[in-house]
Chain A
């Protein structure tokens, strides 16, 4: 049985809190980060998510779950939202929300897809698209808390412009604290690109990942096909299923 390290929000009810947007960051043409001030927020662990609830003037409400991208140590909570054109909530959060706007949320939620210092390493992170968000929380936590276990991030994006947190990832990899980042671009790449240029597969995991014998703590987040293929490939490479944790999103899971 996998570890069960604690309840989402303690023993009490998860209350709805009011968050205020303090900063908006254009991460890519499709993705925007919302930096939030949340009075009463109890803190979170890297990898957890929260539920956002929007209320229209006529009282209509819509709820969606979003992963938390900020480290527990950060002053504000960051969500990174990928715009789903046919979505109901993500177009609002990525296009209409302004600094100073308020909306409700509650969390943190999920005590399984979580990485803490106690979980140790090495750490193998595999992300597709905006699935980077909870893994970014882990990398930011690793850097802030100086948990210098060896870590590899394999990150699949469509194009160079679609890489979320690109400059911050470059800086984290340049720290020289044992983090290696491998990008792969699946729909074209700039001239002189030295990263990978195809969808993540078993050969790529074998050549740039962490060997099964090193028992990496593995977190995979992205669209279902990427998660399924990565998890299956790692099992074929001899990784232990109970060390592999997955989080998936489909068109509606992240809308």
Chain B
């Protein structure tokens, strides 16, 4: 690959050396929390809310809001990376890990290798199951000690912080186990099927 052209006079911010190992290539740090979504924010209705695990046509487990809140809760502090190039360090979340959901559903191990997440508003995203288990992902209901606000995905969103943040689907309602990987919403529109920020997998073919 040829050398990129120098942008005459461009210096950029002072390098954030301390954090260098925590900011993936092409990303920059932000202290606020930008909102990105493709359509209107759904109204949260806790009374009719539920979260389900599903495989093919069968229901593996389903929890209403109160039942979900009674499942073992996990707190994590993680860095998040949005494909639009912002990263945010040390974000604090609480929720139920996918491991805890599998256990609550009485499953010793996940039934398949891939998953599709389904959300209010019709959004979907695909994630390999190995990226969801062993503490790597949760269904989060709290951010910085507060209930997750609707524009940030409340009442509950997926949190899979080691992938670009579009994978951490807002307003998540259902995790469907599938046998082979298929593209979700943004993945059908040119975004990368997997989305590893450290390999800068932003778009198809990256």
Contacts and interface: CB of A to CB of B under 8 A. Distances in A.
A253 B186 CA distance: 18
Contacts of A102: 5, 7
B28 A62 contact: yes
Contacts of A241: 39-40, 42, 121
B7 A14 contact: no
Contacts of B32: 250-252
Given A11-B204, A92-B9, A245 B86 contact: no
Contacts of A165: none
Contacts of A65: 84-85
Interface stretch (A51-59, A134-142, A155-163, A193-201): A51-59
A12 B204 CA distance: 7
B34 A252 contact: yes
Given A7-B204, A14-B205, A63 B85 contact: yes
B39 A54 contact: no
Given A241-B121, A242-B122, A88 B13 contact: yes
A249 B204 CA distance: 23
Contacts of A54: 7, 10, 12
Contact of A7 (B36, B84, B189, B206): B189
Interface string B1-31: 0001111111111010000000000111010
B5 A253 contact: no
A126 interface: no
A18 B36 CA distance: 28
A60 B12 contact: yes
Contacts, number: 149
A153 interface: no
A103 interface: yes
A97 to B, nearest CB: 8
A26 B81 CA distance: 33
State the main secondary structure of chain A at its contact with B. Answer: mixed
Given A55-B4, A224-B151, A252-B34, A109 B190 contact: yes
A64 B84 CA distance: 7
A185 interface: no
Contact of A109 (B9, B34, B121, B203): B203
B143 interface: no
Contact of B38 (A51, A112, A228, A253): A112
Interface in B113-128: 121-122, 124
Contacts of B11: 56, 60
A231 B40 CA distance: 5
B70 interface: no
Contacts of A253: 34, 36, 84, 86
Contacts of A235: 40
Interface in B160-205: 185-186, 188-191, 202-205
Contacts of B39: 2, 231, 241-242, 244-246
Contacts of A250: 32-35
Interface of A: 1-2, 4, 6-9, 11-14, 16, 18, 51, 53-57, 60-65, 88, 92, 96, 98, 101-104, 109-113, 224, 228, 231-232, 234-235, 241-242, 244-246, 248-253
9 contacts: A14-B190, A14-B204, A60-B15, A110-B190, A228-B35, A246-B38, A246-B39, A251-B34, A253-B84
Interface of B: 4-13, 15, 26-28, 30, 32-42, 84-86, 121-122, 124, 151, 185-186, 188-191, 202-206
Given A64-B85, A224-B35, A228-B35, 7 more contacts: A7-B189, A7-B190, A8-B190, A12-B205, A60-B15, A246-B39, A253-B34
